[in-house]
A and B are shown apart, each in its own frame.
Chain A
């Protein structure tokens, strides 16, 4: 069965020039899962499918640049031309459910639970969405955060979310066909604040040790030199390496 990932937003922390914040659409057959929903990303989502076509949503952590478009999606799903009949399953790291509740209360005093059936997930949890098996590892970030693995029919995609931790992510990424990993920064991680993000070389080390098939670097902060990120990752990881771009699709068949 084909498994594919489309980049809806690849900008790190804040929007880039013409780039929306973090979001990825994973599709296999008729099953569609949204991984994160950063600022502006759902403008790209709707080029492919409607909000109501989503079978599940995974939110890696509560930061605005990974979840804020769910506020607007709420209005589309509740008040749009074809309102949903059942809330959409939403698997979120700890604090995501509370953040969504607060976002909707602050914005218009609506109840997030009307539209999103939130389940909190942590490292080691597994859930099924149609034929897809989703498993999670704890990420190392400023807030509770998760990395996600999606598998179907022997194909696998792993998405880091935001993390600064190598070992947990390495375990989850083992043997993945496609590894979408954050590389917020170039250079040495000692030059950046601890506990937040990976550098390109960090991402490539994880990819190498986990033996992944294809490394896609994402969440590159707008002030980071993208070419340098690619070069530094290629020095470490010998397999194919790409920089994510909004609207790029990677197909595993």
Chain B
């Protein structure tokens, strides 16, 4: 069974030049799963699927650049006369409270009707149509999950924001496509610990987990993209590339 990954936003922490913040669309057998919803990502989502046609949303953590477009999506659905159900929202701890905190009391109530929230964390497993999704905790300041999505033997793993670690290696093991953050270039020692990966750091995880293909994303606007790619390619010898908004990966 085939699975399609579409990059909706690949910019790290803030929009880049013509690049919006983190969002990814996974599709298989007519099922559509939105993985994160950073600022601007739903403009690209709607080129492929209407917000009302999403089967589920996963929000990896509460940072604005990973979830804020769910506020707009909520209004779109709440005022949509053709929308008469709830969309499951699988979110790390603190996401729902953060989003509801931006809304008036009435809207916050309605948010819970539009998005059927279920908190997910380390070791949890959910199903969205044919997609089996499992989670591990990610090394990042707020509660954050990395996600593995499997459809009939085909696997995509998304690090979300992560400083790496054994849990990320474990969940990425043998993935066909590993969508891994590489916010920075150069040496991890030059950056604050416990926040993000470098290009080399992502490549080390990919090598250890023996993934088939590494796609680097969340490269910060101020980071040299060519250097991230070059440094990752020195460490991981399989196919490596940089994510770009609207890039499509067909896996089978």
Chain A interface residues (CB < 8 Å from chain B): 11, 13-21, 39-47, 64-65, 68-69, 71-73, 75-76, 79-81, 103, 106-108, 222-223
Contacts and interface: CB of A to CB of B under 8 A. Distances in A.
Contacts of B101: 106
Contacts of B19: 43
B242 interface: no
Q: Which 7 A-B pairs have the closest CB atoms?
A: A40-B40, A72-B14, A14-B72, A43-B15, A15-B43, A80-B222, A39-B39
A72 B13 contact: yes
Interface stretch (B28-36, B73-81, B172-180): B73-81
Interface in B1-55: 9, 11, 13-21, 39-44, 46-47
Interface residues of B, number: 39
B64 interface: yes
Contacts of B13: 72, 75-76
A206 B238 CA distance: 61
A43 B18 contact: yes
B63 A108 contact: yes
Contact of A39 (B46, B63, B72, B221): B72
Contacts of B69: 14-15, 39-40
Contacts of B154: none
Nearest to B14: A72
A245 B47 CA distance: 16
A13 B72 contact: yes
Contacts of B46: 15-18, 222
A14 B76 contact: yes
Nearest to B224: A81
27 contacts: A13-B72, A14-B71, A14-B72, A14-B73, A15-B42, A19-B43, A21-B72, A39-B40, A40-B20, A40-B21, A40-B39, A40-B41, A43-B15, A46-B16, A47-B17, A64-B102, A65-B71, A71-B65, A71-B68, A72-B64, A73-B14, A79-B222, A80-B222, A107-B63, A108-B63, A222-B76, A223-B79
